[in-house]
Amino acid sequence: MAMRWEQLAKRQPVVAKMLQSGLEKGRISHAYLFEGQRGTGKKAASLLLAKRLFCLSPIGVSPCLECRNCRRIDSGNHPDVRVIGPDGGSIKKEQIEWLQQEFSKTAVESDKKMYIVEHADQMTTSAANSLLKFLEEPHPGTVAVLLTEQYHRLLGTIVSRCQVLSFRPLPPAELAQGLVEEHVPLPLALLAAHLTNSFEEALALAKDSWFAEARTLVLQWYEMLGKPELQLLFFIHDRLFPHFLESHQLDLGLDLLLYLYRDLLHIQAGQMDGVLYRDQLDRLQRWALACPQRRILAGMEAILQAKTRLNTTNMSTALLVEQLVLQLKR
């Protein structure tokens, strides 16, 4: 879903204010550097700026999002807007030279051209030097937007020729509220907002039926820790393994379990606002009352160790989970 100006202003107010000021004064920089963590909306913002610059019917600082140019930018088909990214792990000199050739031509449909470089920190040294020359001698009407999660890896001379706009991580509460506005149930929104900082990723996760089932299974998982060992292991093999089949799925399941344990700590401390499994408050309060704090902390440590082993060893996931549940049960 394409970003709207109101969404940019809400999620990244400082960035929106800087761009709005430039648009209103007709002083758009010839080069921007959008830097910030993955999922903070850098590419969506760069495309929003492109749409505003090429929009046939702008409304103030907002593009109409409906005209031919806005639609073509969304589909990647506008001849005067180019997006490049790493080819086989890096951005190569040939890609920058191709951009230079394209932008030395007359703009096809207007007097403006714009290019977006994704993961700009992954340029080879020769590509970076080639881009630097391009930035030092910009063609009239050309706007460059470089996107990076690690701008300290860029040449200082490139950074100095760009207007740097920093994209802040979205606080989980704001992210959850945005998900609720997209009709995601609050219990799923709260968890998804803590699992990723990317609105798009959180929305996709929260709307996936797999995620809702994973949450239900994790609650059952904790409840089964109070059952006889044989019954618990049967649940693990019959219900958990088929659902958390891939390593990344199990990693997410462990995160969900970790947040459940964290909720028990919040309840014991009387910090109800921090509870993520909020619709399960009655059950959580019973569990928190029956479980000493040292046991909760030991459980969290065991889960974190399991996550580390999952991501750093070739250990069987079945064996890893069996060992974890026996640790948690003890």
User: pLDDT (tens digit, 9 = 90+) per residue, 21-39?
Assistant: 999 998 899 999 999 988 8
Q: How many CB atoms lie within 10 A of CB 171?
A: 11
Distance CA 155, CA 257 (A): 42
Q: Give me the pLDDT at residue 231, please.
A: 92
The better pLDDT of the pair 279, 311 is held by 279
Most confident stretch, 36-45, 105-114, 284-293: 284-293
Rounded to two decimals, the pTM is 0.71
Q: Is the pLDDT of residue 295 over 80?
A: yes
pLDDT tens, 179-195?
Answer: 998 999 999 999 999 99
Q: Give me the pLDDT at residue 311, please.
A: 84
**CATH superfamily, domain at 5-169:** P-loop containing nucleotide triphosphate hydrolases (3.40.50.300)
The confidence band for 219, taking pLDDT boundaries of 50, 70 and 90, is very high
Distance CA 82, CA 144 (A): 10
Q: What mean pLDDT do residues 237-266 have? A: 95
List of long-range contacts for 281-288, beta carbons under 8 Å, 24+ apart: 283/219, 283/223, 284/260, 287/222, 288/264
Distance CA 176, CA 181 (A): 9
% residues pLDDT > 90 (the chain): 75
- Mean pLDDT (the chain, rounded): 92
Every domain of the chain and the residues it spans? 5-169, 208-329
In CATH, which of 1.10.10, 1.20.272, 3.40.1000, 1.10.287 is domain 208-329? 1.20.272
Quick one: tokens of 58? 């702008």
Q: What mean pLDDT do residues 36-47 have? A: 91
Q: Is the pLDDT of residue 286 over 90?
A: yes
Q: What mean pLDDT do residues 293-303 have? A: 95
Q: Is the pLDDT of residue 109 over 70?
A: no
Q: What mean pLDDT do residues 37-61 have? A: 93
**Measured CA angle at 309 (ends 304, 312), to 5 deg:** 120
Write phi, then psi, for 114 (nearest 5 degrees).
-145, 140
Q: Give me the pLDDT at residue 305, please.
A: 95
| Nearest residue to 31 via CA among 122, 125, 120 | 120
Q: Is the pLDDT of residue 154 over 80?
A: yes
Distance CA 199, CA 43 (A): 13
For residues 283 and 220, the answer to whether their CB atoms sit within 8 Å is: no
The better pLDDT of the pair 139, 129 is held by 129
For residues 146 and 36, the answer to whether their CB atoms sit within 8 Å is: no
Q: Give me the pLDDT at residue 133, please.
A: 87
Contacts of 208 (CB under 8 A, 6+ apart): none
The confidence band for 108, taking pLDDT boundaries of 50, 70 and 90, is low
Instruction: State the residue for tokens 């390593």.
Output: 247
Q: Is the pLDDT of residue 41 over 70?
A: yes
Q: Give me the pLDDT at residue 106, please.
A: 67
Q: Is the pLDDT of residue 49 over 90?
A: yes
Q: What mean pLDDT do residues 305-322 have? A: 88
